Every structure is written in structure tokens, then in C-alpha cells.
Structure 1
Amino acid sequence: MTATVFSDLVCMLGEGPAAHPALGRLFWFDILGRRLIEKPFQGGAARVHALPFMASMMAVVDDHTQLIAAEDGLYLRDVASGSLRLHRPLEADNPMTRSNDGRVHPSGALWIGTMGKKAETGAGALYWFFRGEIRRLFFGISIVNSIAFSPDGRIAYFADTALGAIWRIDTDPRTGLPAGERRVFATIPPGEGGPDGSVVDADGLLWNARWGGACLDVYAPDGRRRRSLPMPARQVSCPAFIGAAADRLIVTSATENMDAAALRADPLAGQTFLVDPPVAGRFDPPVALA
């Protein structure tokens, strides 16, 4: 497989790519730049929307509305106007944290993680949101990432990038709630990067962007690493499926904490990439608000 540039717009912290199938568009965030970016699946110019806060992920509500996770809560965004309305607060009483990785379970439940704005040890947590209810599932996590689900909704994955560990946990396919104890799924040795965002394809393979490792790792459901695909930027952050059949894969990246020398050595840092050839992807379902 090879990777080419999908968007040359440079992000300080590109994250949270999510397809909007009905619109034929990909949306992603520059968290630190407080920007939401969109671009058609088939190419064309990227459109940039300034945000009043740091935001990290988007879920489809319907053809006209999106749910956005931000530093103080979950917001409804009108696609046509870009207007934002607070739907539910999330750690709004803690100005030291912000949202990070998140994904919608096949049931329509959202799993969303938080983390310290300076990646403070143990400052983050993982939450479940479904039909208006929010529950904290896990806490004491430094950098919540790699939230993804098996196609049948019976398995969830999440990671702490700081620990280099991805966990697997059984889930109720009807609600997306944990149905067992988490156990280690895969680990990345110290010095080889850390697990960032993930997606699971139609065959149950987990595709994980390895932050600091300049690669995309592909894991079988039993945790064995099938292969590692080289990427043209060191700090890759999150993959997403795009295209009419969810058969293309894009990966975001970041320039965060890179000095001038590092940027010269990594000239495509912060850009968003398209991985070829096609893959057996799938789209996340709409989030269930009520």
C-alpha cells in the first residue's frame, strides 16, 4: 500500500476524521488550531471553519446536524449554517481537560474520551453517551485514544497512548456498554511510538495510527499485528474510511511539538493522507440522541 496527500492543509493537531456519507464529505479537526475542516471524498478544495473552542471529533446526527465533542461538552452543529448549540456538558467544570478521541458504537452510543490539555498523567476519562444519558466508564487515563468497535458491536477497543497499550473489552451490542473486564489487546514497545486513533473494517481488522512511528498498524481480532504500513509523516493521528462504499482510507497527522529542524526532516507533517489501494471499510452509524 502507498499513501498520497489528500489535503495539504497543515494542522497543528489533525484529529477526529469522520465521514458524512450523505454529503459525500470528510470532516476533521485541527484541535489546537480550533478549526473544523471539510473536503469532498472525490477531491476539491478544503473548507475551513473557525471554532470558538478546541474540538476533537464529530458524529452524524442526520443529514442536517452533527454532534461535536469539544473541551467543555457535546455540541449540535447545523451543517448549513455552522451554528453551534450546547447539547450536554462534559467536564465543563474542569478547565484543565478537553475532549479527545471518540467514535459511535453500532448501537448508536458514543464513546468519548477526555485528557489533560497538557497531557497530564491520569487526567483523562472515557465516557458513554446514549439517548441523552452520560456515564463515566473508566478514569485515570492519560491520553484516551483508539476508540473503535467490531462490526457486530460486541467488542470495543481503546488505548492510553502514554502507556503504549490498546485494550479490548466485550460490549452489549444493544447499548454499547461494557459487558466484561478490559484486557490488553496489543502493546507498542517504548521508543517506537504510541497507539493513536483507530478504525475497524468490515472484516474485523483494526487499523491504528501509530503516533511517533510514521506508520499505520493493522491488527487481527486476536491482537496479532498483521502488517505495518509506512506513512509520510511521523506523527500520524487517526484513520477514517471515506468514499461512496467506505472503501478508501485517510489518515490525519500533526506538527505538534515539532521544532524547525523536525519540520524540515518531516515536510509533510500535519497534512492528511489517502491510503491506496481500496480497503473493506464501513461507516459509523448516526449517534442516538433520544
Structure 2
Amino acid sequence: MGRGGSMMQVFDTRVCRLGEGVFWHPQRERLFWFDILGKQMQSQTPDGPQDWDFDEMVSAGAWIDRDTLLLASETALSSFNLTTCACETLVLLEADNPVTRSNDGRADPMGGFWIGTMGKAAEVGAGAIYRFYKGELRLLFPDLTIPNAICFAPDGRTAYFTDTATQILNRVSLDAQGWPDAAPTPFMDFRAKGLNPDGAVTDARGNLWIALWGAGQIAVYDPQGKPRHAITLAAPHVTCPAFAGSTLFATTATQGMTAAALADYPDAGKVFTLADAGEGRPEPQVIL
């Protein structure tokens, strides 16, 4: 896969230790993202940057209505009112397990929300992927180490995910309600190239846009898994992509970088953007 001619530019200058979970709220026309290790949600408004501090790590979210977000934290899925900052628990998420926290998550086209958990020190097999749909939280895939790349085909009948530690992206077919109706199967193998798939999103044509941790890239594949092109960032640890129309955004991280690496990549940890990158589609509304 060639590196292509596209280079993402800095969108927000704040440095996240572990930027993640970026998504565009179509009704508010606002971008939201998280600094997991900083226990913070961030946004950018016409009046400047905005952030919200939490008592525990937050990692992913989606929109419920114009004023309300679904947020995934260490111990729960919660509703968060952007106007009042009221945060109400919807369902507990491994709240009795102090080893784990939430990680990658995304709303599915049927109105559900998939969320991964992982060990805070990436303990082997400590994590899992769940789906929250119409008030029910159901365990889908246990014994994962670093669940990532949760995204969905535009018709909602295929889900993708990875355990980054395996370097393999899986796909699984879904029924009309968005629940898996078969076992996951390996779809793309990144081991030969030594690449680490992180967050991912699909576009309107079903192409997969996959952040590559450690490689400073978002790699684009067609729905059959064939490589198309790659987009570069001036940050090695790319964590999660998102679309707002045709504009691409991506979070990055400084976690694990040495002082020398941070000097080489002064924009590491920032949020990046690229106009006219592709044909995105709106993030689905979560149905409670």
C-alpha cells in the first residue's frame, strides 16, 4: 500500500495522552473526542476549545439526541447532558472488575452501541466486547486483550472488530436487529507487515478506514479487504478516525513515547483533520 499524497493537518492543538473515541454529532455539528488517561472529553466550538473532566476514565461515546450523549467510562455506560452536565448511569459495565476500563466503541446502524473493555495494563484476555441495545447490555466476545476497530457496514448487517494484540481484523454477520448471528471470522491479517490496527470507521461505500498504532497512518481498504491508499499523520500513534461529511478527523496519542520521539513528533497527541478525504456518513443515533 502506498502512502498516498494526503497528509492530515492539526485540528486541535491540545495534547492527549491517549486520544480516542472521536465522533461527529450530526445534530449539533460538533466533534467530540476523549483523552482516556486524562479522564476528559474534549470538543471544539466556534468560540474555542471546550472540555469536561470526569472522575474516571472515559473512552467512547455516541449521540442520543441533540443535547444528550452516551458515554462509556471505566464502570458504566451513562447519559450525559451537554447543557446541564448531568450524568446518569444507564447500565454498569464491569463495575465489579477494577482491572478493566472501557476502550473503543461505536454506535451501530440499528441504534445499538458496541463497547470494548480492556485491562488498564493491557492484561492478556482481560477485555471483551459488549452491545447495548434498547436497555440491554449483552456480552458478545470475551477474552480479548485490546478490543478496537469496532465499525459497521453501511447496511448494518456486518460488524468489524480487532483484538489489536492479534493484529487480525475480524468480521461478523448481524441479524436484522444488529445482533451477531454467526461466529466472527478473520478478515484482514496485519501480522506480515507488523501493523497494529486500532480504531476504524466505514464510509458510505463500505470502505474501511483503519488507524494504525505506531505507523502514523490511516489505511483505507475496500469492502473486500483490498488496500486502496493510506493517509499520513505527523504522529506515530494514530488511534481513531471519524467522518463529518467528507472531512476526516483522527485522534492520536503520546502514550509510550520517549522524550526523543516526542521531540521528533511535536504534534503527537493532537487531533488531526483532512478535508475532502472521502464520502462519510452520519454516526447513527443510539436508541435507548
Does TM-score exceed 0.5, indicating one fold?
yes
Counterpart for residue 236 of structure 1 = 238
Counterpart amino acid of 1:211? W
Counterpart for residue 176 of structure 1 = 178
Tell me if the contact between 1:164 and 1:190 (Cα under 8 Å) persists in the aligned partners: no
Match of 2:19 among 11, 14, 20: 14
Q: Secondary structure at the match of 1:261?
A: helix
**Could you tell me how far apart the structure 2 residues matched to 1:55 and 1:152 are?**
29
Q: Secondary structure at the match of 2:267?
A: coil
Indicate whether 1:94 and 2:93 are aligned: no
**Could you tell me how far apart the structure 2 residues matched to 1:44 and 1:255 are?**
27
Tell me if the contact between 1:126 and 1:138 (Cα under 8 Å) persists in the aligned partners: yes
Counterpart for residue 30 of structure 1 = 35
Q: Secondary structure at the match of 2:48?
A: coil
Counterpart for residue 197 of structure 1 = 199
For residue 85 of structure 1, report the CA deviation from its aligned partner.
1.3
For residue 251 of structure 1, report the CA deviation from its aligned partner.
0.5
Structure 1 gap segments, 5+ residues each: none
What aligned pairs does 1:1-290 form with structure 2 within 5 A after superposition? 1-40=6-45, 45-172=48-175, 174-189=176-191, 192-242=194-244, 246-289=245-288
Tell me if the contact between 2:15 and 2:269 (Cα under 8 Å) persists in the aligned partners: yes
Kindly provide the CA deviation profile for residues 72-122 of structure 1, in whole angstroms up to 9, marking residues without a partner as x: 010110111222111110100001100001111111011111000011111
Tell me if the contact between 2:25 and 2:283 (Cα under 8 Å) persists in the aligned partners: no
**Could you tell me how far apart the structure 1 residues matched to 2:85 and 2:65 are?**
14
**Could you tell me how far apart the structure 2 residues matched to 1:46 and 1:171 are?**
38
For residue 52 of structure 1, report the CA deviation from its aligned partner.
1.2
**Could you tell me how far apart the structure 2 residues matched to 1:236 and 1:61 are?**
27
Counterpart amino acid of 2:258? D
CA RMSD between the two structures: 1.2
Counterpart amino acid of 2:225? G
For residue 191 of structure 1, report the CA deviation from its aligned partner.
6.9
**Could you tell me how far apart the structure 1 residues matched to 2:232 and 2:64 are?**
34
Tell me if the contact between 1:2 and 1:276 (Cα under 8 Å) persists in the aligned partners: no
For residue 238 of structure 1, report the CA deviation from its aligned partner.
0.2
Tell me if the contact between 2:216 and 2:232 (Cα under 8 Å) persists in the aligned partners: yes
Counterpart amino acid of 1:84? C
**Could you tell me how far apart the structure 1 residues matched to 2:105 and 2:111 are?**
13
Identity rate of aligned residues, in percent?
43
Q: With the length of structure 1 as denominator, give the TM-score of the two structures.
A: 0.95
**Could you tell me how far apart the structure 2 residues matched to 1:233 and 1:258 are?**
10
Q: How many residues align?
A: 283
For residue 187 of structure 1, report the CA deviation from its aligned partner.
1.8
Q: With the length of structure 2 as denominator, give the TM-score of the two structures.
A: 0.95
**Could you tell me how far apart the structure 1 residues matched to 2:16 and 2:223 are?**
32
Structure 1 residue ranges (4+ consecutive) displaced by more than 4 angstroms after TM superposition:
none
Counterpart amino acid of 2:128? A
Structure 2 gap segments, 5+ residues each: 1-5
Tell me if the contact between 1:249 and 1:276 (Cα under 8 Å) persists in the aligned partners: yes
Tell me if the contact between 2:246 and 2:275 (Cα under 8 Å) persists in the aligned partners: no
Q: Secondary structure at the match of 1:46?
A: strand
Tell me if the contact between 1:2 and 1:277 (Cα under 8 Å) persists in the aligned partners: no
Counterpart amino acid of 1:220? D
Kindly provide the CA deviation profile for residues 183-241 of structure 1, in whole angstroms up to 9, marking residues without a partner as x: 11112126733100000000000000000111111111111121222221100000011
